[in-house]
Structure 1
Amino acid sequence: MTDPPIGLGRLGAMGVRESARLLAGVHEAALAGDAPPAAPRTVISESWLRVRNHGVDPDIGRHAGLLSTEELEHRRQSSPLGDVMPLLREGLVTVADVAWHIMVVTDGEGRVLWRDGSLAVRRSADRLGFAEGASWAEDVVGTNAIGTALVTRAPVQVHSSEHFVRTHHAWTCAAAPLHDPRDGRLLGVVDISGPAATIHPATLSLVTAVTRVAEGELRLRHWASIERLRAIAAPLLARMAGADDRAVAVDRNGWTAAVTGMAPPDRVALPAAVRSGEMWLPNLGRCSLEPLPGGWLIRVGADRDPAAPMSRVVLDVSRARTWTVTVSGAAGSWAQQLSPRHAELLFVLALHRGGRSAAELAQDLFGDAGRTVTVRAELSRLRRNLAGVLAHRPYRFADGVEVELVRPPLAADLLPHSVAPAVLAARR
């Protein structure tokens, strides 16, 4: 029988050499299929399983090549993270430099976009290929704080031999994902890395706190852009405020800036590809879209039919970090990226076509049948976007709707961020 999982608190109580030896023994036993001297943390053991399934070499990892200088600069310029780099540097680089660490910021694919901090540590990182433009995703370099945070959508610290690839065992790293507050999209990861001997339990808390501050800054910038759009759209809507005119001005993510002739929605569900002209939108029906600086003017047609029947839904959860729902029918089709929670909910409903009660869904998602308030709130948001697709009493896909569920080839890759009991059971 093995000891309890190795936590950072337990490692902190040991000497650096003793903890390194213990983790190395756990790592080697796991690779050999032997009983380890102690159990690795769950987040680490699940990551090791994923990267082994992806064929990552524990000695050298895999190599995806560096981005070209032009592609690297393009990604920097197009990423919202560029707007908060001064804040991230102010909050982390000084601390990283003093502590012999580096700060690394990646995009949502795990590509290193920015790197700053100790010059000596940056030189050591270069020898590992841990350079700007490199991919630090799990399926390329194995278990590491950046790649594992991208998959789990949660802050994580990875120390020494918890890294899957042996050449990384001299390192410790702590990373937190950074999300776009406009739509919940994963923008990238903020990481602090350095020599394993410099491990400190507070590093993860620091990285997480600074990342949350950066998300708050992005939220403020978003609302400022909404105000600018409102100033442009309000005079346009005032001139068309007739008895039968219904229109709404939204930003590129569907957030409402101004409205006339209808109740103001918080947000309009826009398809992945928006274009000028006629388009069918959930909850609004047939609409006409016109571009505005920073958004769209949506004129709602007289044939408005929020419940226009949709006949087919494709739920794609086959990728590790992006999940989509595509809805199609006689009125048209559209696709939308899903948040982690909505991906879990739709996955469970796709498994149970007969429907689930709020208590059953709470058990499926949280292992607690009492959390019905949370379930109902999330499903209310989902049903606003999926009008005519989801029914209730019980919650289910509507009768007559064809549902296709696209899963990953490997069961271990199914919604890897999720700890929902229903998803864990499906992975097994």
Structure 2
Amino acid sequence: MADIWDDGRGATEEIVERFLDGEPTGNDVRAQIVHSWRRCQATGLSPDIAHAPLLEGLDFECGLVRAARPVFEGLGTTIANTPVCMLLGDANGAMFLRNVGEPAMRRAMDAVGAAPGFGFTEAEMGNNAHGSVLAERRTCQITGNEHYAEVLRRFTAVGTPVRDPLSGRLNGVVCVVCPNEWANAKMMTLARRSAAAVEEQLIGMVTERERALLETFLRSQGARHTPSSPLRGLCRRDQLTLEDSAVSLIAEGRTAMREVALSDGHIATLLAQPVTGSAEPTGIAVRVWLPGP
């Protein structure tokens, strides 16, 4: 909703009321904000009854939370003694982590449900720095009266996506929130740097997971060294065929075997097997048997 800082002064209470009455808002409000108001209106949400629901069954030890926890712990000194709140939510709109600079801001966040365990999608709370990032898949800034929900209009917030380091999929959102009178462009910098730090933690976790997968598989096969690629002597067409078959087997997520015809008429055999770490499944490994010369 913003790639550069915007003070949001165009969204006065009068303009908000004009929008709600179906009248033109003119050019005083950013187009992205008006679009977000329309999304909220389409859900049937009323600005005066927005409510963050308490969610059940959340996994507070999921990968996103484990990656973000050290980042949020480190933010304690950054926002200490300031009316600033940092929040982490997932791709479904659930809040998981919160770091608040002072008690008054903690109480203010509690009052609107901006706390771990609560949902903060646009359908629940109107446009906001968490839910709107999920809707638009990019950094969003919402200031004061730009909020659809009345209870959020005293705040300014910036949200930035946290993306999966391998797939690029949106995994979550880091938000920075403060009272309107404290808002400044440093909020956007803090949100983006914090989201980038969480992504760095995710990269480390992915690397560790892939290394564990290989080591566990080699142990299960009694191998002492990493084998050279069995596909190296094949033509490019056969390599791609086997790689596609391996991806398909991995997607099944179970033990499975498949025979694949090669370009020279021989048959290659692929075996997919789940491998486990110390406590839980680590992934799927695929072995390839090629015909002899």
Question: Residues of 2 paired with 1:301 and 1:7: CA distance?
Answer: 52
Establish whether residue 223 from structure 1 lines up as the match of residue 207 from structure 2. Answer: yes
Q: How far 1:110 sits from its partner (Å)? A: 1.0
Question: Residues of 1 paired with 2:171 and 2:137: CA distance?
Answer: 11
Question: Residues of 1 paired with 2:259 and 2:35: CA distance?
Answer: 42
Is the partner of 1:167 in helix, strand or coil?
helix
Question: Residues of 1 paired with 2:46 and 2:16: CA distance?
Answer: 14
Q: How far 1:96 sits from its partner (Å)? A: 3.0
- The correspondence of residues 262-341 of structure 1 with structure 2, limited to 5 A, is 262-263=231-232, 269=247, 273-278=252-257, 287-293=270-276, 294-300=282-288
Question: Residues of 1 paired with 2:146 and 2:203: CA distance?
Answer: 35
State the AA in 1 paired with 2:255.
S
- The correspondence of residues 345-360 of structure 1 with structure 2, limited to 5 A, is none
Count of aligned pairs between the two proteins: 268
Q: How far 1:66 sits from its partner (Å)? A: 0.7
Establish whether residue 196 from structure 1 lines up as the match of residue 180 from structure 2. Answer: yes
Establish whether residue 261 from structure 1 lines up as the match of residue 230 from structure 2. Answer: yes
Change (3 A) 1:133 1:238: closer
Q: How far 1:62 sits from its partner (Å)? A: 4.8
Of 65, 79, 93, the match for 1:110: 93
CA RMSD of aligned residues (A): 3.4
Give the TM-score normalised by the residue count of structure 1.
0.55
State the AA in 1 paired with 2:134.
L
Q: How far 1:235 sits from its partner (Å)? A: 6.2
Q: How far 1:300 sits from its partner (Å)? A: 4.1
Q: How far 1:302 sits from its partner (Å)? A: 6.9
Look up the match of 2:60.
76
- Tell me if the contact between 1:237 and 1:260 (Cα under 8 Å) persists in the aligned partners: no
Is the partner of 1:77 in helix, strand or coil?
coil
State the AA in 2 paired with 1:108.
A
Of 43, 49, 54, the match for 1:60: 49
Establish whether residue 156 from structure 1 lines up as the match of residue 156 from structure 2. Answer: no
Change (3 A) 1:274 1:9: closer
Q: How far 1:159 sits from its partner (Å)? A: 0.7
Look up the match of 1:11.
7
- Tell me if the contact between 2:272 and 2:285 (Cα under 8 Å) persists in the aligned partners: yes
* Greater RCO (CA < 8 Å, at least 6 residues apart): 2
Question: Residues of 1 paired with 2:151 and 2:83: CA distance?
Answer: 19
Change (3 A) 1:272 1:176: farther
Q: How far 1:29 sits from its partner (Å)? A: 1.9
Q: Deviations over 1:328-349 (max 9, x none)?
A: xxxxxxxxxxxxxxxxxxxxxx
Of 29, 32, 40, the match for 2:21: 32
* Percent identical: 23
Question: Residues of 1 paired with 2:142 and 2:116: CA distance?
Answer: 20
Moved more, 45-54 or 221-230: 221-230
State the AA in 1 paired with 2:167.
D
- Tell me if the contact between 1:106 and 1:188 (Cα under 8 Å) persists in the aligned partners: yes
Is the partner of 2:40 in helix, strand or coil?
helix
Look up the match of 1:133.
117
State the AA in 2 paired with 1:275.
R
Of 105, 112, 119, the match for 2:103: 119
Q: How far 1:207 sits from its partner (Å)? A: 0.9
Question: Residues of 2 paired with 1:259 and 1:151: CA distance?
Answer: 45
**Mind listing any 5+ residue stretches in structure 1 that lack a counterpart?**
13-18, 242-256, 304-428
Q: How far 1:102 sits from its partner (Å)? A: 1.1
Q: How far 1:167 sits from its partner (Å)? A: 1.6
Question: Residues of 1 paired with 2:217 and 2:97: CA distance?
Answer: 37
Change (3 A) 1:170 1:7: farther
Give the TM-score normalised by the residue count of structure 2.
0.78
Look up the match of 1:171.
155
